[in-house]
A and B are shown apart, each in its own frame.
Chain A
């Protein structure tokens, strides 16, 4: 078992070390790191913008690059939150609490140095987890029939929409909306037109790129135009030699690192609890374990290390359900799955055996990418800090162009540019109403497959809905769904008596 995993991994390294794959991986982490540092640009928008560019290249290179953007952004985000107290990306909001005080004390360099190292440790553990867990999961998943897949997707969708930030009811509503958007176009089995309103352009369905760019590109730009305050860079002078932590720092951050890793990997395994929740849990754990909890918030190195480690460990771990089951845990994963589908690769349990080069190449590239990121971040820290001063007013018009040309290039169709603008407008209105657009994407990507399996399951059972409860594995998933809903209702009703969860909830919401 371990031996085969290692052989496969070796093969993966061969794939990932091919010059062009190496180049795409490097490009991905470079761009990722860049957008991570820049306030106002998220990994979601970046991956959507890069998506059309990947049509021309092979699937392996494409997925390596897009995944690189994602974890590269996590490294960059830490720089931004530690030096500037700007939580550009939700997972790093907690890092601000102790990271910025450290910067004020003149120890920002140390915080960054430790973070880079901690991130690497967390990511390595996440990757190891993926190597050994994914094949096991696949073995189980290959036994699944349509009924099981269907209930598993239901669980994934529910978890993804309720455990994320914001109100769970709104999250579910968004997922349902996403599922409905996924139904637009020609029905796979009967060929009937659905929701096309007679527009021929919609017969093929709504384009994933148009949806993603509309929601996360245009919607986000509208949200942050003229809102980004000028960045205060008075503390942001970090040189390479400031970054070396002292022996005492290393000693103090050793155990938080291990705890953070564990928290992160656990959170990765529960679908829907991505890096953001992992970092909050890790910080809370550290505070509880510490002998001096009152000092947190004044620049404790533990408060920087633990959340960062757990973020990275869970980012890598998030790939496990995505790659082995074809069930994405959050919007970024959904987008990556969508990218695979555009390349003509069907996600699901058969992915690892049918396309071993993609899976193992990806795993190997994680390691290479993380090493590249350490190399990029340590000596070039000054450059990244400089990047923080690029004004938003130059950034977003250029990004708008990439949005337009990207959508156009996907199908050489001008209609979709207008489609994107319309989706962007709707997305912005929804955002202002407190709905998060991320679950829409989740529902959209899973929608067609959900419907297909749902129908197939009912066909086999001759229209008997109880098939989902009668088959044991499926029943377990359905049970978990019910449990999840029950738990949410319980949590919602409780804060009226007890104020504490509400406070934590508020902290989560302010992190957005």
Chain B
């Protein structure tokens, strides 16, 4: 259910952040930090007796490391290609990378999907909603 270590990780930084600034602007954060530490201990305490009996795993049955990676990489791809190349490459890369994560995805279906989304996306955001982002450019920032 809960890994003790993660609670520690959650707790540690909050403590440091919480007591960093005294009074004034730091008052509420400190109080909240203390409360969170208390809750962290409570959660950990209730999880401890359970942890011994069975080997609990926070990961789901089938692990989709690749798919998870793809989903997380997709916004990063959008950032990278969006800054360098503009809206069209950004969108295409974003959808393509995300689609890569699906198990049944084929190269053709990914290409088609990315192109369709790019087409409508650019139409909608660039021409109808007037997002101030260049549609296509070289070099960039």
Q: Which chain A residues have a beta carbon within 8 Å of chain B's beta carbons?
A: 53, 56, 167, 169-170, 172-173, 176-177, 179-180, 183, 187, 189-190, 192, 194-195, 218, 221-222, 225-227, 392-394, 396-398, 400-401, 403-405, 407-409, 412, 414, 417-418, 420-421, 424-425, 428-429, 432-434, 451, 454-455
Given A194-B25, A404-B94, decide whether A226 and B102 contact each other with a Cβ distance below 8 A: yes
Which residue of A has the minimal Cβ distance to B43?
Answer: A169
- CB-CB under 8 A from A192, the residues of chain B are 21, 24-25
Q: Do B25 and A403 touch (CB < 8 A)?
A: no
Select which of B1, B2, B79 is within 8 A of A414 by beta carbon.
B79
Given contacts A221-B71, A401-B121, A227 and B1 within 8 Å (CB-CB): no
Q: How far is the CA of A173 from the CA of B33 in the complex (A)?
A: 10
- Separation in Å of the B34 CB from the closest CB of chain A? 10
A-B Cβ contacts below 8 A, count: 162
**Chain A contact residues, majority secondary structure:** helix
Residues on A with C-beta less than 8 A from B105 are 393
A396 touches B98 (CB 8 A): yes
Q: A190-B24, A194-B25, A400-B95 are in contact. Are A225 and B67 (CB under 8 A)?
A: yes
Interface of B is mostly: helix
Are the C-beta atoms of A398 and B40 separated by less than 8 Å? no
Contact with A along B79-99 (1 / 0, CB 8 A): 100110000001100111011
8 inter-chain pairs at a CB distance below 8 angstroms, sorted by A residue, are: A221-B71, A226-B64, A226-B102, A401-B94, A401-B95, A404-B74, A404-B75, A429-B6
Residues of B within 8 A of A180 (CB): 14, 17, 29, 32-33, 36
| Beta-carbon contact of B117 and A173 below 8 Å | no
- Closest-CB distance, B91 to chain A (whole angstroms): 6
- Classify chain B: how many residues form its interface, as a range: 35 or more
Residues on A with beta carbons closer than 8 Å to the beta carbon of B75: 218, 400, 403-404, 407, 417-418, 420-421, 424
**Within 8 Å CB of A400, what residues of B?**
71, 74-75, 94-95, 98
User: Within the complex, what minimum Cβ distance (angstroms) separates A201 from chain B?
Assistant: 13
A397 touches B99 (CB 8 A): yes
Query: Does A451 contact B28, Cβ atoms closer than 8 Å?
Result: yes
Contacts A227-B60, A412-B132 given; does A194 touch B117 at CB 8 Å: no
Residues in A neighbouring B131, C-beta threshold 8 A? 405, 408-409, 412
**Known contacts A408-B82, A418-B79; A454 and B74 CB within 8 A of each other:** no
| Chain B residues, CB < 8 A from A454 | 28
Contact: B21 with A393, CB < 8 Å? no
Tell me how far the C-beta of B3 lies from the nearest C-beta in chain A, rounded to whole angstroms: 7
Q: Provide the residues of chain B in CB contact with A432, threshold 8 Å.
A: 58-60
With contact pairs A176-B35, A393-B99, A414-B83 given, residues A190 and B25 touching in the complex (Cβ less than 8 Å): yes
> Which B residues lie within 8 Å of A179 (CB)?
32
Which of B17, B29, B83, B113 meets A398, CB within 8 Å?
B113
